[in-house]
């Protein structure tokens, strides 16, 4: 009974997911309801299910520490809810993520107006501010009329918002668990919708995950899977899910009673995530997930020797992931001529513009210019957007100075994560550095938003162990009593 009580959530969600997949795959493969005509309806139903489960998970957590539902309607709880919303909805359509982030900032300001307390600004954010200043300077010298790069607002506003309130460690742990569980539901629903699409288009599961399968005229089949969540880019979806996995591992090893995560939740989340990465054909997502699982379990080996079974499980996953990557079956999926061409163009552009490049937001112009003058580069039908490597991309924009600034920023963040002994920050930066090698999460707003919402929360979790310096404005502005 104790096992069921501790694992009722993961068992229920997993069982419903498996049943739904089996019904779609084997019982109703030729049904009228599993067809193109019902794709939009199916996506809408799954959206409603996701929102209802999200609400149920949040209320269940709230009722653990509150006896009456009326206690829910407080400004503090509204702020907590806004943090959760900003984290969860960062995985969906970018504009929804932006509004949910603004939702959080709005309630942080309201909370400050009521409490009138300002808490110390963490010095680690100065590294992000330095990166933001580089973007602003680059906007002044990009060969066109100055336009303030709005994307840097996130680097400035979120750190300041976290200076307007202070919660205890357990509150942050509960936030992490709600987000972890909601993201697990997201994975399960996405897997169900994936199988639905496989049946609708009569596709082969093996070919879907091992080749660049073209379905219904779409070269990127992940676009079909993302219909229900209104967002399709596997890179930025993976970043959010991997951040959730990091939170899950942290909670599992923390063993907090009010934010408990069982081993079965971790296994279910990990396995489901790996399957989803295969469905998305996300190479960097798959590799990052395998490495994150392995590194996380080895990370905690020093705490308890009884974790050797989990470590063995991680080694098996790592071996399987390596085998899959090296397998001939995956050669087509792993081929990426677009990035090879972009890297070649970028390197040649940098050689001619070593000290300063295009300025902020003009990577595509550099690639297009270089493509015209290099005759031996195969012409690509894809529109040039950005370099797909954060380090090369910054150098294309700002020359060697951009590379140095990015290196200093990343090194500073990594140094802080080890100095503060924050597993959350160490693993988050580990994942983002991996993604920086094949993407540019800090070049576009979707990547920046996803990074800053989790980074700020993970910093706050680490700070919760210590007493933060506070300026009470009520005392500051109060009149002195006459002597």
Q: For 128-157, write each residue's pLDDT tens digit.
A: 999 999 988 888 877 777 777 788 888 889
Q: What is the per-residue pLDDT for 326?
A: 53
Above 90 in pLDDT, residue 205? Answer: no
Above 60 in pLDDT, residue 312? Answer: no
The string of DSSP letters for 182-224 reads HHHHHHHHHHHHHHHHHHHTT--HHHHHHS---BTTBS-THHH
Q: Which residue would you say has higher pLDDT here, 335 or 296?
A: 296
* pLDDT-based confidence at residue 190 (cuts at 50, 70, 90): very high
Q: What is the per-residue pLDDT for 332?
A: 46
Please report whether residue 437 resides in a domain. Answer: yes
In the predicted model, what is the mean pLDDT of residues 195-221?
A: 75
Please report whether residue 67 resides in a domain. Answer: yes
Q: What is the per-residue pLDDT for 218?
A: 64
E strands present in 110-198:
117-119
* pLDDT-based confidence at residue 329 (cuts at 50, 70, 90): very low
In the predicted model, what is the mean pLDDT of residues 318-331?
A: 53
Q: Give the pair of three-digit tokens for residue 13.
A: 């969600």
Structurally, how many domains does the chain consist of?
A: 1
Q: Give the pair of three-digit tokens for residue 152.
A: 């840097």
Residues with Cβ < 8 Å from 98, sequence gap 6 or more? 445, 449
Residues with Cβ < 8 Å from 236, sequence gap 6 or more? 91, 441, 446, 447, 450
- Count the neighbouring beta carbons within 10 Å of the beta carbon of residue 447: 23
**Secondary structure (3-state) at 118:** strand
Q: Which residue would you say has higher pLDDT here, 273 or 321?
A: 273
115: left (phi over 0), alpha (psi -120 to 50) or beta: alpha
Using the structure block, give the residue that is written with the tokens 């396995």: 271
Above 50 in pLDDT, residue 340? Answer: yes
Phi, psi of 67 (to 5 degrees): -85, -25
Q: Which residue would you say has higher pLDDT here, 275 or 317?
A: 275
Please report whether residue 386 resides in a domain. Answer: no
Q: Which residue would you say has higher pLDDT here, 51 or 315?
A: 51
Please report whether residue 259 resides in a domain. Answer: yes
Above 50 in pLDDT, residue 330? Answer: no
The mean pLDDT value of the chain amounts to 84
The winner for highest mean pLDDT among 217-221, 298-302, 434-438 is: 434-438
Please report whether residue 363 resides in a domain. Answer: no
How far is residue 410's CA from residue 134's CA, in Å, rounded to a whole number? 14
Please report whether residue 389 resides in a domain. Answer: no
Q: What is the per-residue pLDDT for 198?
A: 85
Residues with Cβ < 8 Å from 376, sequence gap 6 or more? none
Are 79 and 107 contacting, i.e. CB atoms less than 8 angstroms apart?
yes
Q: Which residue would you say has higher pLDDT here, 482 or 199?
A: 199
Q: Give the pair of three-digit tokens for residue 119.
A: 């808490």
Q: What is the per-residue pLDDT for 470?
A: 86
Using the structure block, give the residue that is written with the tokens 């992931």: 321
Using the structure block, give the residue that is written with the tokens 């930066």: 429
How far is residue 428's CA from residue 425's CA, in Å, rounded to a whole number? 5
Percent residues over pLDDT 70 in the chain: 85
Please report whether residue 432 resides in a domain. Answer: yes
Above 70 in pLDDT, residue 81? Answer: yes
Q: Which residue range forms the structural domain that includes residue 313? A: 2-117+167-335+420-465
In the predicted model, what is the mean pLDDT of residues 410-416?
A: 93
Q: What is the per-residue pLDDT for 133?
A: 92
Residues with Cβ < 8 Å from 322, sequence gap 6 or more? 290
Q: Which residue would you say has higher pLDDT here, 150 or 194?
A: 194
- Of 313-322, 346-355, 360-369, 421-430, the least confident: 313-322
Above 90 in pLDDT, residue 274? Answer: yes
How far is residue 159's CA from residue 127's CA, in Å, rounded to a whole number? 12
Residue closest to 396 by CA, chosen among 442, 438, 434, 364 = 364
Q: Which residue would you say has higher pLDDT here, 362 or 67?
A: 362
Task: Spell 223-242 as b/e; 16+ CB within 10 A means b.
Answer: ebbbbbbebbbbbbbbbbbb
Please report whether residue 154 resides in a domain. Answer: no
Percent residues over pLDDT 90 in the chain: 39
Q: Which residue would you say has higher pLDDT here, 326 or 378?
A: 378
Q: What is the pLDDT of residues 174-185, one digit of tens each?
A: 999 999 999 999
């Amino acid at each position: 009974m104790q096992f069921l009580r501790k694992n009722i959530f993961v068992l229920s969600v997993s069982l419903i997911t498996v049943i739904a997949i089996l019904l779609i795959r084997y019982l109703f493969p030729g049904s009228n309801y599993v067809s193109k005509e019902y794709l939009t309806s199916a996506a809408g139903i799954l959206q409603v299910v996701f929102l209802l489960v999200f609400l149920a998970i949040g209320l269940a957590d709230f009722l653990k520490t509150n006896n009456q539902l009326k206690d829910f309607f407080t400004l503090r709880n509204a702020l907590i809810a806004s943090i959760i919303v900003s984290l969860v909805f960062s995985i969906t359509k970018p504009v929804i993520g932006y509004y949910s982030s603004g939702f959080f900032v709005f309630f942080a300001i309201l909370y400050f107006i009521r409490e009138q307390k300002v808490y110390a600004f963490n010095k680690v954010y100065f590294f992000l501010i330095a990166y933001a200043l580089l973007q602003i300077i680059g906007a002044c010298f990009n060969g066109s009329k100055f336009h303030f790069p709005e994307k840097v607002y996130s680097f400035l506003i979120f750190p300041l918002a976290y200076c307007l309130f202070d919660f205890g460690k357990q509150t942050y742990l509960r936030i992490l668990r709600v987000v972890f569980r909601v993201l697990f539901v997201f994975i399960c629903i996405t897997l169900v919708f994936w199988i639905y699409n496989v049946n609708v288009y009569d596709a082969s599961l093996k070919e879907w995950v091992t080749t660049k399968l073209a379905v219904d005229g779409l070269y990127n089949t992940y676009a079909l899977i993302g219909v229900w969540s209104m967002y399709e880019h596997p890179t930025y979806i993976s970043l959010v899910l991997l951040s959730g996995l990091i939170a899950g591992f942290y909670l599992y090893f923390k063993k907090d009673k009010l934010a408990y995560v069982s081993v079965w939740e971790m296994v279910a989340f990990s396995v489901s995530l790996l399957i989803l990465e295969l469905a998305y054909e996300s190479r960097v997502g798959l590799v990052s997930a395998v490495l994150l699982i392995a590194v996380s379990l080895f990370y905690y080996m020093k705490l308890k020797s009884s974790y050797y079974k989990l470590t063995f499980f991680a080694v098996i996953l790592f071996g399987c992931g390596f085998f899959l990557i090296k397998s001939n079956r995956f050669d087509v999926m792993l081929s990426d001529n677009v990035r090879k061409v972009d890297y070649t163009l970028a390197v040649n552009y940098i050689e001619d513009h070593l000290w300063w490049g295009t300025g902020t937001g003009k990577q595509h112009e550099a690639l297009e210019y270089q493509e015209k003058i290099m005759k031996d580069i195969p012409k690509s039908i894809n529109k040039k957007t950005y370099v797909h490597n954060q380090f090369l991309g910054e150098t294309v924009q700002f020359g060697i100075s951009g590379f140095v600034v990015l290196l200093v920023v990343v090194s500073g963040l990594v140094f802080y994560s080890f100095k503060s002994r924050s597993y959350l920050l160490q693993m988050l930066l580990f994942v983002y550095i991996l993604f920086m090698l094949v993407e540019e999460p800090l070049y576009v707003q979707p990547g920046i938003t996803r990074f800053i919402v989790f980074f700020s929360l993970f910093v706050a979790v680490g700070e919760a162990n210590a007493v933060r310096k506070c300026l009470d404005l009520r005392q500051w502005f109060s009149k002195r009593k006459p002597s």
